[in-house]
Amino acid sequence: MTDQNPFSKLGRPMNAPSKELDTFPAPANVTSVEFHTDELTSFCPVTEQPDFNTLHIEYNPDKLCVESKSLKLYLWTFREERIFGEGLANQIAEDLFEALQPHSIRIVLEQGIRGGLQMNAVAEISKQ
């Protein structure tokens, strides 16, 4: 019997992060897709202290949507990365925009309070 599962992650045991994002055709009449997580972590590139982030993803699909398990494994890849929060928001926006080619994408990263400061970064990309 041939494997008919078109996804590289969904329905398969996975125990490691992956930069590969699976996509599927956007259903008709879906104009907005949102994901939220408070499980995005990374490290400060200077102090090497852990950063705990809340992430909001919203995109307006054109032809493709992202499969959620592959998105989770993609976000896991940042767990050991040393990157400023602003750069992290931008990297996620760029990677998702490249994979999905949506009409637009908006990433809001809320970094956990460190040193008494709350930092939010917004990255937005739209088709011209």
- How do the domains of the chain map onto residue ranges? 23-126
What does the mean pLDDT of the chain come to? 91
Tokens 């989770």: give the residue. Answer: 72
CB 82 within 8 A of CB 44: yes
What pLDDT band is residue 61 in, cutting at 50, 70 and 90? very high
For the chain, give the percent of residues with pLDDT over 90.
Answer: 83
Residue 115: its pLDDT value, please? 83
pLDDT in tens, 74-89: 999 999 999 999 999 9
Please indicate whether residue 95 is annotated as part of the active site. no
Write down the pTM of the prediction.
0.89
Please indicate whether residue 65 is annotated as part of the active site. no
DSSP 21-87: --EEEPPTT---EEEEEEEEEEE-TTT--EEEEEEEEEEE-SSEEE-HHHHHHHHHGGGG-B--HHH
User: Per the residue annotation, which of 51, 62, 65, 95 is the catalytic one?
Assistant: 51
**CATH topology assigned to domain 23-126:** GTP Cyclohydrolase I, domain 2 (3.30.1130)
Instruction: Among 4-13, 38-47, 99-108, name the one with the lowest average pLDDT.
Output: 4-13
DSSP state of 92: H
User: Per the residue annotation, which of 22, 38, 44, 62 is the catalytic one?
Assistant: 44
